[in-house]
Amino acid sequence: MSTRRILAMQDVVKRTPVELNHPKKQVSEYFGANVFGIDAMREFLSEEGFTRVMEAMEKGVTLDRKIADQVAACMKAWAQSKGVTHYTHWFQPLTGTTAEKHDGFFEPIGGGRAIERFSGSQLVQQEPDASSFPNGGVRSTFEARGYTAWDPTSPAFIWGNTLCVPTIFVSYTGEALDFKTPLLKSLSALDKAATEVAQYFDKNVTKVIGTLGWEQEYFLIDAALYNIRYDLQQTGRTLFGHSPAKGQQLEDHYWGSIPERVLSFMKDFEYESHLLGIPVRTRHNEVAPAQFECAPVFEEINIAVDHNQLLMDVMEKVAIRHNFRVLLHEKPYAGVNGSGKHNNWSLATNTGKNLLSPGKTPKTNLQFLTFFINTVKGVYEHADLLRACIASANNDHRLGANEAPPAIMSVFLGAQLNNVLDELEKSVSDKKLSPEEKTALKLSIGKIPDILLDNTDRNRTSPFAFTGNKFEFRAVGSSANCAGAMTVLNTIMADQLNKFKNDVDGIMNSKKLEKDDAIFQVLKRYIAESKKIRFEGNGYGEEWKNEAKKRGLNNIPTTPGALEAFISKKTLSLFEDLGILNHREQESRYEIYLETYTKKIQIESRIIADMVNNQIIPSALAYQKVLVDNVTGLKAVLAGADYKKASDTQIELIKEISERVSVIKKAADDMTEERKKANNLDNAKKQAHAYCEKVKPFFDEIRYNVDKLENIVDDNTWPLPKYREMLYLR
Ligand code: ADP
Ligand code: MG
């Protein structure tokens, strides 16, 4: 074993759970203590200030300078009362992480003295240099400056010693450079469209919000082992590693008892999360060894997204205290399940109703069916865009790999709702329905709700499943910003509901139909048109691939191909028409995603070559030398048949090592050549394809041979922590 590996293993063996010294209190006593939420605002703001901020939060009205100054002063006073010295605009650039630049409150006032200041203008707007964030060409023609602007709909919070103000991030000329800007626009488009449709059923509905409850999967690894795996450090995943004899076959990890050390970590990050107002509530072991999940109570989408971004950061920081590292990568280990982030999505009204919850009365049921069928239709219309919004180099390892949803988009409804839709499609005729027919229809729908909610009829293999009162988008990657998927889903739904409204109003006028009749007819048409996207069977099976092909559904296995849907005519006008992202912004995003893909594969490829040359081959050769010395020694003491008998196996091993080493070396060199060619290509699309089709295929060949070497080389010589060491937490 390399000295580094021995020392790391010694550390691991000595670990004990970290003792926590949190106050022994109920969560409700400290939940949100570090959030400048409603309670803190009421306490620190004047009555007028409070009212105006609430307005800004609910209606998106901008605050005038005077109020902004007051809010800033109060935020500062509140933060100072908790020992805070710095503030930052906290935003979500397209790198996928969050960005922060801390500035001190203090300001020199001459004479060697200073005061603490935080003005309204510092709260409302900042000008970070945008040139070091991905901008996909948006910047080059304009100035390097970008703006961050306060998002009053998401409360400021204290993390560490810093007051963090959630903001959007746009270029000098107003183009979105982040995830939050289009998300907020999509939420307001969704609100408008959904409110109009909801008013068919209930005039009291004046606002519809999107809700999101994410489920976050992750792996933990001991920090000592992580620190000597360069692949994990630099790429987030193991580029080599033979599967352990015991992986997840016995299915003994899922929901099993949580190891003490892990539990201590979980309690700690949950505590920190609760202080930040992140309502995490559920924790359990996941399917793979060393894999876990946490989930909060759902929230309004913008807040839920911020909370998820923040949680990922909190987890990473808290893990270090516990001598763990969190792996949020979609596929840290080959041969065991990867990690996703299920996005549970629904729509809630200001009247407290969940629009995707089947109602108890015929009227509320028709409302439910309207939103339900429109979701299915929207997904059908923009399946490729949904595929695109979850595409990443990391997620390519998961999708379609028989452990995660396939790369083919489909919707799972459950047997019951499928029957309801089939019934509706059959029984609604094109003419006016008699009152009896209508009641019968609505009543047949009326039988759905009760059975549905405790229906555990769930299909884990579907990328997009209805789960009783929400849709669950399961193909989102574990490290992704949920905003990408949520923006697409909200936008698709807003567009679909606008079309629905048009269609219903249209035939009410042209065919002189009553509202209910018109709704039934349009729904019937949508059911027929979107049928192809519905799939109840096993999404992991080969048969589904064939069946999907027959249905004309796309199966796009890799990111460079999937991203095309971002710049299709259909997508460009979808986003532009609803004012979410204009052509330029959309195209720049497409470029950024391609570049990100290329960079990730490029880094992996370099690390593979480095590790092969500096760690794997030298270790294999060191062991080979031991064998060669031994064989030479045998020759000195034995002869003829005796020598042959004693040396045969070793000579085979010596040969196998030589063969594998030369295959690995050649593949690594050829891969490096392909990389050079790819780097010389002149556009992002060609480069991404070259990395995907020419560079990446070497990964498997190299890994296969390295993993074989791992199996034959003396454990004492092997330089890297093995899967069996990394995946078992003690
Ligand atoms: P599971 O899917 O694991 O069985 P649940 O159905 O209880 O678990 O919920 C999973 C997630 O879905 C949780 O984060 C929960 O808050 C969220 N969720 C529940 N209802 C809604 C809703 N109306 N809108 C959005 N998310 C929801
Ligand atoms: Mg779930």
* Domain ranges (residues) in the chain: 31-178, 187-581, 596-726
Given this model, what pLDDT does residue 443 score? Answer: 58
Given this model, what pLDDT does residue 145 score? Answer: 72
Distance 289 CA to ligand 1 centre (A): 24
Q: From the CB of 95, is ligand 1 less than 6 Å away?
A: no
Q: Which of 470, 474, 476 gets mutated to test ligand 1 (max ligand atoms within 8 A of its CB)?
A: 470
End-to-end CA distance of the chain: 20
SS3 151: coil
pLDDT in tens, 44-98: 899 998 998 888 887 777 788 888 999 999 999 999 999 999 999 999 999 888 9
pLDDT in tens, 210-233: 999 999 999 999 999 999 999 999
Report the DSSP pairing between strands 411-412 and 464-466: parallel
Ordered DSSP codes for 39-50: HHHHHHS-HHHH
Q: Cα 100 to chain center, whole Å? A: 20
Distance 165 CA to ligand 2 centre (A): 31
- Smallest-distance ligand from the CA of 340: 2
* Among 436-450, 459-473, 538-552, 557-571, the range of highest mean pLDDT: 557-571
Element (H, E) at 167: strand 162-171
Q: Which two tokens stand for residue 557?
A: 């296995």
Q: Tell which residue, 347, 368, 518, has the closest CA to residue 445.
A: 368
Contacts of 170 (CB under 8 A, 6+ apart): 146, 147, 149, 176, 177, 178, 181
Mean pLDDT throughout 303-310? 98
Mean pLDDT throughout 441-463? 61
User: How many Å apart are CA 270 and CA 281, to the nearest integer?
Assistant: 8
The answer to whether 91 and 169 have CB atoms below 8 angstroms apart is yes
Fold of 187-581: Creatine Kinase; Chain A, domain 2 (3.30.590)
Q: From the CB of 357, is ligand 1 less than 6 Å away?
A: no
User: How many Å apart are CA 242 and CA 324, to the nearest integer?
Assistant: 22
**pLDDT grade for 101, boundaries at 50, 70 and 90:** confident
Q: Residue 181 to residues 151, 171, 184, 484, 562: CA-CA distances in angstroms?
A: 9, 11, 5, 11, 23
Q: pTM for this structure?
A: 0.95
pLDDT in tens, 9-20: 999 989 999 999
- Neighbouring CB atoms inside 10 A of 444's CB total 16
- Smallest-distance ligand from the CA of 476: 2
Mean pLDDT throughout 178-191? 97
Q: For residue 157, what are the β-bridge partners?
A: 35, 164
pLDDT in tens, 586-614: 999 999 999 999 999 999 999 999 999 99
Ordered DSSP codes for 210-232: EEEEEEEEEEEEEHHHHHT-HHH
User: How many Å apart are CA 425 and CA 522, to the nearest integer?
Assistant: 10
Residue whose pair of structure tokens reads 């193991």 in the numeric block: 238
For residues 187, 193, 195 and 198, what is the CA-based torsion angle, rounded to 10 degrees?
-130
**pLDDT grade for 430, boundaries at 50, 70 and 90:** low
Given this model, what pLDDT does residue 39 score? Answer: 87
User: How many Å apart are CA 346 and CA 339, to the nearest integer?
Assistant: 23
User: How many Å apart are CA 464 and CA 342, to the nearest integer?
Assistant: 10
Per-residue pLDDT at 141 exceeds 50: no
Helix orientation angle between 415-427 and 515-529, rounded to the nearest 10 degrees:
120
Q: Residue 634 to residues 509, 622, 654: CA-CA distances in angstroms?
A: 98, 19, 15
Per-residue pLDDT at 159 exceeds 80: yes
Contacts of 669 (CB under 8 A, 6+ apart): none
Q: From the CB of 213, is ligand 1 less than 6 Å away?
A: yes
Shortest-distance atom of ligand 1 to CA 345: 25
Per-residue pLDDT at 474 exceeds 50: yes
Given this model, what pLDDT does residue 342 score? Answer: 95
Mean pLDDT throughout 492-496? 98
The answer to whether 183 and 305 have CB atoms below 8 angstroms apart is yes
Report the DSSP pairing between strands 86-90 and 162-171: parallel
Q: Which two tokens stand for residue 616?
A: 């794997």
The answer to whether 228 and 4 have CB atoms below 8 angstroms apart is yes
User: How many Å apart are CA 78 and CA 510, to the nearest integer?
Assistant: 60
Q: From the CB of 274, is ligand 1 less than 6 Å away?
A: no
- Mean of all residue pLDDT scores within the chain: 91
Q: For residue 149, what are the β-bridge partners?
A: 125, 168
- Smallest-distance ligand from the CA of 298: 1
Given this model, what pLDDT does residue 359 score? Answer: 77
Helix orientation angle between 569-577 and 482-510, rounded to the nearest 10 degrees:
80
Shortest-distance atom of ligand 1 to CA 215: 14
Q: From the CB of 304, is ligand 1 less than 6 Å away?
A: no
Judged by average pLDDT, the poorest of 62-76, 447-461, 508-522 is 447-461
User: How many Å apart are CA 366 and CA 520, to the nearest integer?
Assistant: 9
Domain range 31-178, its CATH number among 3.10.20.70, 3.40.50.300, 2.120.10.80, 3.20.20.80: 3.10.20.70
Given this model, what pLDDT does residue 432 score? Answer: 65
Which residue, judged by its Cα, is nearest atom 22 of ligand 1?
346
Q: From the CB of 216, is ligand 1 less than 6 Å away?
A: no
Distance 293 CA to ligand 1 centre (A): 13
Mean pLDDT throughout 303-319? 97
Q: From the CB of 279, is ligand 1 less than 6 Å away?
A: no
Give the rounded percent of residues in the chain with a pLDDT score beyond 90: 71
**pLDDT grade for 417, boundaries at 50, 70 and 90:** confident
Judged by average pLDDT, the poorest of 259-263, 425-429, 445-449 is 445-449
Distance 344 CA to ligand 1 centre (A): 6
Give the residue, 405 or 467, on which the prediction is more confident: 467
Per-residue pLDDT at 673 exceeds 80: yes
User: How many Å apart are CA 702 and CA 667, to the nearest integer?
Assistant: 7
Shortest-distance atom of ligand 1 to CA 295: 14
The answer to whether 466 and 372 have CB atoms below 8 angstroms apart is yes
Given this model, what pLDDT does residue 456 score? Answer: 46
Element (H, E) at 261: helix 260-275
Judged by average pLDDT, the poorest of 205-214, 327-336, 441-450 is 441-450
Per-residue pLDDT at 690 exceeds 90: yes
| Count helices and strands in the chain by DSSP H and E runs | 27, 17
User: How many Å apart are CA 354 and CA 469, to the nearest integer?
Assistant: 7
Q: From the CB of 297, is ligand 1 less than 6 Å away?
A: yes
Given this model, what pLDDT does residue 58 score? Answer: 78
Q: From the CB of 296, is ligand 1 less than 6 Å away?
A: yes
Given this model, what pLDDT does residue 138 score? Answer: 62
Per-residue pLDDT at 349 exceeds 90: yes
Per-residue pLDDT at 438 exceeds 60: yes
Q: From the CB of 501, is ligand 1 less than 6 Å away?
A: no
Q: From the CB of 186, is ligand 1 less than 6 Å away?
A: no
Mean pLDDT throughout 233-261? 84
Fold of 596-726: Four Helix Bundle (Hemerythrin (Met), subunit A) (1.20.120)
Q: Which of 216, 280, 344 gets mutated to test ligand 1 (max ligand atoms within 8 A of its CB)?
A: 344
pLDDT in tens, 544-565: 999 999 999 999 999 999 999 9
Q: From the CB of 453, is ligand 1 less than 6 Å away?
A: no
Q: From the CB of 332, is ligand 1 less than 6 Å away?
A: no
Give the rounded percent of residues in the chain with a pLDDT score beyond 70: 94
Q: Residue 126 to residues 60, 90, 102, 491: CA-CA distances in angstroms?
A: 19, 11, 12, 28
